[in-house]
Amino acid sequence: MSAKFITFEGTEGVGKTTAIARLCERLRETGTQVVQTREPGGSELAEKLRAMLIDPATKIDDATELLLMFTARSDHLHHTILPALNAGKWVVCDRFIDSSVAYQGYGRWQGDPDKLAKIDGLIENFVPRLPDMTLWLDLPIAEGMARAGKRGEADRFEAEALAFFERVHQGFAKQQQRHPNRIHRIDASGTVEAVSERVWQAVQGLDS
Ligand code: TMP
Percent residues over pLDDT 70 in the chain: 100
- The mean pLDDT of 170-176, rounded to a whole number, is 98
pLDDT confidence bin for 28, thresholds 50/70/90: very high
Q: 15: Cβ below 6 Å to ligand 1?
A: no
pLDDT confidence bin for 175, thresholds 50/70/90: very high
The answer on pLDDT for 192 being more than 80 is yes
Q: Radius of gyration (Cα) for the chain, nearest Å?
A: 16
Residue with the larger pLDDT of the pair 16 and 1: 16
Closest ligand 1 atom to residue 96 Cα is: 20
CA 74/CA 71 separation, integer angstroms? 5
Cα of 14 from ligand 1 centre, angstroms: 13
Q: 7: Cβ below 6 Å to ligand 1?
A: no
Per-residue model confidence as pLDDT tens digits over 61-75: 999 999 999 999 999
| List of long-range contacts for 43-49, beta carbons under 8 Å, 24+ apart | 43/72, 43/75, 43/76, 43/78, 43/79, 43/80, 44/75, 44/79, 45/72, 45/75, 45/79, 46/72, 46/73, 46/75, 46/76, 46/79, 49/75
pLDDT at residue 207, as a whole number: 83
Q: Whose CA is nearest to atom 19 of ligand 1?
A: 99
- The mean pLDDT of 45-58, rounded to a whole number, is 97
Peptide bond just before 83 cis, omega within 30 deg: no
Q: Whose CA is nearest to atom 16 of ligand 1?
A: 100
Average pLDDT, the chain: 96
Cα of 39 from ligand 1 centre, angstroms: 7
Per-residue model confidence as pLDDT tens digits over 119-172: 999 999 999 999 999 999 999 999 998 888 777 888 999 989 999 999 999 999
SS3 at position 54: helix
The neighbouring-strand residues paired with 186 are 137
CA 180/CA 105 separation, integer angstroms? 19
CA 180/CA 56 separation, integer angstroms? 35
Closest ligand 1 atom to residue 103 Cα is: 15
